[in-house]
Structure 1
Amino acid sequence: MKPRLVFVHGVGGPRDAVGELAHWKSALAKGMRAAGHSSMAEALSDGGIDCAFVYYGDLFRPPQAQGALVEVEDERSAELLLALLDDVLAGLSERLPDTPEDEQDLIRAQVLAHARAEAAPHPQEQGVMALARRALNAATTVLSVRLFRGLGQWAAPKLMVRDLGQVARYLARREDDGTQETLDTRIRNRLVRELTHGTTVLVAHSLGTVVSWETLHEHPSPVRLLVTLGSPLGMRTVVTPRLVPQPPRTPERVGEWLNFFDSDDPVAVRPWLENDFAPNGAQVRPDSRRVDSEGFWVHPAVLYLAQPGVAGPIAEVLHAARNGER
């Protein structure tokens, strides 16, 4: 029986699931070769590994209101969006030196302080439009200076707010589709369909790490290795306290959990998950590891997958499963 590898994507716009699967497999194969696992890279490329890509981006339909500023549909989601934005800004602030080392550090600190003030709660402002406008203003401020390496792909404030808004909409646990299934449930159901076939390695990115973690608790399927990339699970203000179940712990049937982060990844603002997640019954807890990618935007899954430090452990587990090893 072939080992099975399941990918779960994160935030972003619509995508071609077939094309994305090929792109992710290609990046992972590159990383495997760099890690000295050419045979597993070939198996990945020639069908020796059963692969699936869980796509749920189509469920983030545009808001019904014409002319909406951002893709959030209710005040609760908009409030969470602002809190998430502040968490990202706070994480960027924590990465600055306590004493500015040069003029750019000083500018960064000033810009972040201004943006956080714009995102701060204002009791006199209520309603989705007012909250959305505040989020866009804060995003515009922080993106107005290209001094933050990790924010590279957010070429426009609306893209930054859209992506964080998707996390907010998931955590709001609303948007009933008429069958009493909320948006977050419908998203998890997409992964459940793939888990029913059995999974050797589950690789999740960004928002997909939240989706995967909750799904593995709700539908406890055995997974030898859980890999999380650029995860927001450690956002203690918004994400961690809203996870289900509480208190956060490693899903019971996960045999190993590797959590990878780039120090410039704006989504993985508090990446050491072992500080916040208790072990499961087998004493498995997250093992967080830093990787370093080149470029101005380090969050994409394919950059993580091409890293030998990420691809190597995945190749080892798939190889062991392929040879019937436990």
Structure 2
Amino acid sequence: MRLLFIHGRSQEGRSEQALKEEWLGALNRGLSEANKPEIAESAVAQPFYGDVLLELSKTDPANADELKRSSAEKRQGADFVKFMAEAAVELSAKGSEAGIAAIQPPPFDGDDVYRTKNPACAPLEQSDIDDMAERGVQNWSWVIATVRHLDETFPAFSEWSIGRLLRDVYLYLTDEEIQAKIDEIVERHITSEPTLVVGHSLGTVVAYNILRKKERNITGFITLGSPLGIQAIRKRLEPPAIIRPNVETWANLYDTADIVALNPLNSKSFAIFNKPIEDVKVHNDSDNRHNIKSYISDVETVSRIHKFVSSGEHQ
């Protein structure tokens, strides 16, 4: 049984080896604490696309100067504003529901600008979000203010920003060049051997997008701190939104205080495959509640990975 680890964003300047040592080291510590045998480095593949993502994502799709170039770029900019607005609204509302932050996005106030107001404001209606997108970058300041408010509300996250994560997810989903190059890097590490895929953060979006397109010998899928439950992201995954039936089990582990992964994946509305997605609440004890080392060393993650590896050893 092989393990395929797929990392998230903000990994530029690192390497496959450094990431493998970080992920596998944390996993083996968790296995050791659970009195389970450690996993050899030779059984793990760790694609690295961090530098490619950084290089290809330098253009901001909401940049006003870029939008002057063509109607296609204008459409992209408007769609990006809408995507960010939808995500900001959802994250703000879910954070408030979870008792993490008493914040709500500002309502449409009847003019061309959406201004940040007090926490008691009602959430934006979908029609207001659509109107924001149609008005384009002149309302970008509201989106920036709302995302900045989220960053300030979750200060431990600010080192790499919720906004930058959402932007990178959007670019991966909508930019054909970025998606093709990242997918090619990951594809090189997929073999005919039975494989358990473990993805984190943006890496769960990359993994899902790759796995749903082609049947492979993937025996299981584990998502850690996944933003796939965010509606704005889910809507931009091209249909059909399914995992191939040969992926028999999918466990989604998330901390309810992880702003990126507040939503469970809810298999009935998200994916159709042999068995339901198993949504599992865990406690990520890192400062931002999203760190990969805390997710992959958690007893719930460890037990599932051990089960897969052990079953593969006896086949």
Counterpart among 240, 255, 270 of residue 234 in structure 2: 240
Residue 127 of structure 1, CA deviation: 4.4
- Normalising by structure 2, what TM-score? 0.78
Residue aligning to 1:186: 181
Looking at structure 1, the residues matched to 89 and 26 of structure 2 have their Cα atoms a distance apart, in angstroms, of: 32
Whether 1:135 aligns to 2:143 is yes
- Normalising by structure 1, what TM-score? 0.76
The one-letter amino acid paired with 2:8 is G
Residue aligning to 2:4: 6
The more displaced of 214-223 and 194-203 is 194-203
Residue aligning to 2:26: 27
Residue aligning to 2:314: 324
2:192–2:217 CA contact under 8 A, matched in 1: no
Whether 1:36 aligns to 2:35 is yes
Residue aligning to 1:89: 92
Over the aligned positions, Cα root-mean-square deviation in angstroms equals: 3.2
Whether 1:313 aligns to 2:304 is yes
Whether 1:294 aligns to 2:266 is no
Describe the shift of the 1:131–1:4 C-alpha distance in structure 2 as closer, same or farther (beyond 3 A): farther
Residue 154 of structure 1, CA deviation: 1.5
Looking at structure 2, the residues matched to 143 and 29 of structure 1 have their Cα atoms a distance apart, in angstroms, of: 32
Residue aligning to 1:198: 193
Residue aligning to 2:245: 252
Describe the shift of the 1:308–1:251 C-alpha distance in structure 2 as closer, same or farther (beyond 3 A): same
Residue 62 of structure 1, CA deviation: 4.5
Residue 279 of structure 1, CA deviation: 3.6
Looking at structure 1, the residues matched to 244 and 215 of structure 2 have their Cα atoms a distance apart, in angstroms, of: 7
Q: Deviations over 1:101-146 (max 9, x none)?
A: xxx97x55686556966xx646498444x454333211233344x5
The 5-angstrom pairing of residues 147-226 of structure 1 reads 148=154, 152-155=156-159, 159-171=161-173, 173-174=174-175, 181-196=176-191, 198-226=193-221
Residue aligning to 2:223: 228
Residue aligning to 1:80: 83
Secondary structure at 1:232's aligned position in 2?
A: coil
Residue aligning to 2:47: 53
Describe the shift of the 1:168–1:113 C-alpha distance in structure 2 as closer, same or farther (beyond 3 A): farther
1:12–1:162 CA contact under 8 A, matched in 2: no
Secondary structure at 1:276's aligned position in 2?
A: helix
Q: Which has the higher contact order (CA 8 A, sep 6+)?
A: 1
The one-letter amino acid paired with 1:244 is E
Describe the shift of the 1:133–1:197 C-alpha distance in structure 2 as closer, same or farther (beyond 3 A): farther
1:217–1:251 CA contact under 8 A, matched in 2: yes
Percent of aligned pairs sharing the same letter: 23
2:30–2:299 CA contact under 8 A, matched in 1: yes
2:284–2:291 CA contact under 8 A, matched in 1: no
1:8–1:204 CA contact under 8 A, matched in 2: yes
